[in-house]
Amino acid sequence: MVAFLRRTGLLDWFLLGLAGAVLLAYLLPDLGSKASPIPWKVVTTGGVALIFFFYGLRLNLDKMKAGLRNWQLHTVVQLITFVAFPLLALLVRPFFGSEKADLLWQSIFFLCTLPSTVSTSVVMVGIAGGNLPAAIFNASISSLIGIFLTPIWTSLILNTGTGGSRLWHLALDLTWQVVLPVVAGVLLNRRFGGFADRHKQKLRVFDQVIILCIVFTSFCESFAEGIFRSYVPTDIVLLGLGMVALYFVIFGLVWGLSRVLGFSREDQIVALFCGSKKSLVHGSVMASLLFPATAATGALLLPLMLYHALQIILASVMAQRMGRQGALV
């Protein structure tokens, strides 16, 4: 049983940490709210900048250029990530009529605008026996594209308050906390890229700790303002089922497209696992930047946290099955 739980990702410390952060926020909401004596804003702001600096440090431009050759595969993955996902969310919008349901839909749409994961996608492609260089390229380029497309999608569809001076403030925040750290990291890749690769596991843990801090403070604000009072356990169960359905709809769409376009088995695996993922790292960061003045940030992160956990579990099972069979199922 323990081996099965580890294999499916249910014993992943980060997933347990997410549940613990939400529970702690529920029990002690004042600890992570704006009234807390702990300077959470400084911790999360500095942490976000370091996350993207280390991300840029691991980006090798020569490898990125070499990866451009497989343009058809890359186009499919990025269109699924940044077009198909949001369009699916827009398609189901009429089913979310009430005020509570509308907030839930906004959080689902926000999830759908996010880029793919980097580490999880690459790991799953490796387990399934896919094209690893193509997976690394797609996951990396998706993260860069998401820096710009996620704010554009949310400003067009959601009420992010990005009009006038707020839009300018958001652009500055993105520049200082995301764009400049990535650029600085890329420029230093030749000198310190090896260091980042050797310590990538430690850097990943650092990323996850910062995300736990963002999740904790977001849920503290939401609990303190009573955002979740109207939610019942049935709502969470239905949301989880919806996230499972979203995952399999996208998975089926990508599988069909890759078959029609005649992708090799290795490239089909890349399309499947890179195209179906969503990044909790980017989602947590973007939520704090795009919705800084709202107590509903915790609610906005709820579908993303569920999707993150489910994509690890489902993708792990499917990747191992594909790796054993040596063919798509």
Domain residue ranges in the chain: 10-322
- What pLDDT is recorded for position 82? 95
What phi, psi does 68 have (nearest 5°)? -65, -15
Tens digit of each residue's pLDDT (9 = 90 or more) over 26-41: 888 888 877 778 888 7
In the predicted structure, residue 229 carries a pLDDT above the cut 80: no
- What pLDDT is recorded for position 86? 96
CA-CA-CA-CA torsion for 5, 307, 298, 223, nearest 10 degrees? Answer: -50
> For residue 256, what pLDDT band results from cuts at 50, 70 and 90?
very high
- What pLDDT is recorded for position 159? 62
Q: How far apart are CA 317 and CA 247, in angstroms?
A: 14
Tens digit of each residue's pLDDT (9 = 90 or more) over 153-179: 988 888 655 444 455 566 666 677 777
In the predicted structure, residue 305 carries a pLDDT above the cut 80: yes
Tens digit of each residue's pLDDT (9 = 90 or more) over 62-95: 766 666 677 889 999 999 999 999 999 999 999 8
What is the pLDDT averaged over residues 280-285?
A: 80
In the predicted structure, residue 114 carries a pLDDT above the cut 90: yes
Q: How far apart are CA 289 and CA 148, in angstroms?
A: 13
What is the pLDDT averaged over residues 210-233?
A: 77
Residue 68 three-state SS: coil
What is the pLDDT averaged over residues 306-320?
A: 81
Question: Which distant-in-sequence residues (6+ apart) come within 8 Å of 215 by Cβ?
Answer: 18, 21, 22, 25, 284, 298, 301, 305
> For residue 241, what pLDDT band results from cuts at 50, 70 and 90?
very high
> For residue 187, what pLDDT band results from cuts at 50, 70 and 90?
confident
More confident residue, 185 or 14: 185
Q: Each residue of 169-182: b (16+ CB within 10 Å) or e?
A: ebeebbeebbbebb
Tokens of 25: 């926020």
pTM metric for this prediction: 0.75
- What pLDDT is recorded for position 249? 95
What is the pLDDT averaged over residues 183-198?
A: 85
Please give the CATH number for the structural domain made up of 10-322. Answer: 1.20.1530.20
Q: How far apart are CA 301 and CA 226, in angstroms?
A: 15
In the predicted structure, residue 221 carries a pLDDT above the cut 60: yes
What is the pLDDT averaged over residues 108-124?
A: 84
- 308 near 120, Cβ under 8 Å? no
> For residue 252, what pLDDT band results from cuts at 50, 70 and 90?
very high
- 276 near 251, Cβ under 8 Å? yes
What is the pLDDT averaged over residues 141-156?
A: 86
Distances in Å between the Cα of 82 and the Cα atoms of 45, 184, 304 are 26, 26, 15
Average pLDDT along the chain: 80
- What pLDDT is recorded for position 253? 94
Burial class (CB in 10 A: 0-12, 13-18, 19+), 225: middle
